[in-house]
Amino acid sequence: MSKAELSDVEDLVHSCGFYHAKAKDIIGAAQGILDRFNGEVPDNIEDLTSLPGVGRKTANLIVGDIFKKPAVVADTHLIRITNLIGLVETKDPKKVELELKKILPPDESNDFCHRMVLHGRAVCIARRPQCDNCCIRDYCKSSKN
Ligand code: SF4
């Protein structure tokens, strides 16, 4: 991938949107991994976010899902639901990540985030949360309002 032609990578990611920028980042990240990390994908947030196109959300996803280390993926569902529950009081992704890292048991943090995403799709749906059917209703600050 580090030696790929930009147009070839663009063809691969065309359906994702922003394909030109993404293709450039993919090639740049592959070159960075090869040049600076001996061809090994880094297993920590600092090194991962030094690569083109890799933000904290992607870095945490890689650290948690690939390397099975503690991670908090601050996606839109996690940010919305943890604010509703009352675990955090900020919409800033980095602050949500760092606040949750302080309170979640490290071994549970990655699964917790995936569960919040599923919960946000199935039950705590934006603009029409199904509070009557919610298994964490008793712990949710918003359900009391
Ligand atoms: S009780 Fe309602 S607002 Fe709270 S997490 Fe459940 S569905 Fe969301």
| 93 falls within a domain | yes
Structural domain containing residue 15 = 1-40
Looking at the fold, whether 90 and 33 belong to one and the same domain comes out as no
| 46 falls within a domain | no
| 59 falls within a domain | no
Contact present, 52 and 65 (Cβ < 8 Å): no
Looking at the fold, whether 36 and 88 belong to one and the same domain comes out as no
Give the chain's mean pLDDT: 96
Q: Which residue has 């030109």 as its token pair?
A: 20
Q: Is 77 exposed, middle or buried (0-12, 13-18, 19+ CB in 10 A)?
A: buried
Looking at the fold, whether 85 and 140 belong to one and the same domain comes out as yes
Looking at the fold, whether 139 and 81 belong to one and the same domain comes out as yes
Looking at the fold, whether 90 and 137 belong to one and the same domain comes out as yes
In tens, the pLDDT along 70-100 reads 999 999 999 999 999 999 999 999 999 999 9
Kindly state if the Cβ of 123 falls inside 6 Å of ligand 1: yes
Q: Is the pLDDT of residue 108 over 90?
A: yes
- Catalytic, out of 35, 57, 68, 101: 57
Q: Is the pLDDT of residue 141 over 90?
A: yes
| 106 falls within a domain | yes
Number of domains in the chain: 2
CATH code for the domain in which residue 110 is found: 1.10.1670.10
| 55 falls within a domain | no
Q: Is 82 exposed, middle or buried (0-12, 13-18, 19+ CB in 10 A)?
A: buried
Share of the chain above pLDDT 90, in %: 97
**Rounded to whole angstroms, how far apart are CA atoms 94 and 49?**
13
Of the residues 84, 127, 138, 145, which should be mutated to test ligand 1's pocket, given the most ligand atoms within 8 Å of the CB?
A: 84
Looking at the fold, whether 135 and 81 belong to one and the same domain comes out as yes
Looking at the fold, whether 33 and 93 belong to one and the same domain comes out as no
Kindly state if the Cβ of 115 falls inside 6 Å of ligand 1: no
State the first-to-last Cα distance of the chain, in angstroms, to the nearest integer. Answer: 52
| 36 falls within a domain | yes
According to DSSP, residue 63 is labeled I
Of 63, 62, 75, the C-alpha closest to 121 is 75
**Rounded to whole angstroms, how far apart are CA atoms 43 and 24?**
22
Q: Is the pLDDT of residue 145 over 80?
A: no
In tens, the pLDDT along 3-14 reads 999 999 999 999
Q: Specify the residue with its C-alpha closest to ligand 1, atom 2.
A: 131
- Catalytic, out of 75, 91, 92, 107: 75
Record the tokens describing residue 132, joined without a space: 């009557």
| 60 falls within a domain | no
In tens, the pLDDT along 25-73 reads 999 999 999 999 999 999 999 999 999 999 999 999 999 999 999 999 9
**Three-class SS of residue 74?**
coil
| 131 falls within a domain | yes
Looking at the fold, whether 85 and 31 belong to one and the same domain comes out as no
Q: Is the pLDDT of residue 144 over 80?
A: no
Catalytic residue check, 75? yes
Q: Which residue has 């991670």 as its token pair?
A: 71
Q: For residue 124, report the phi and psi dihedrals to the nearest 5 degrees.
A: -85, 65
Catalytic residue check, 57? yes
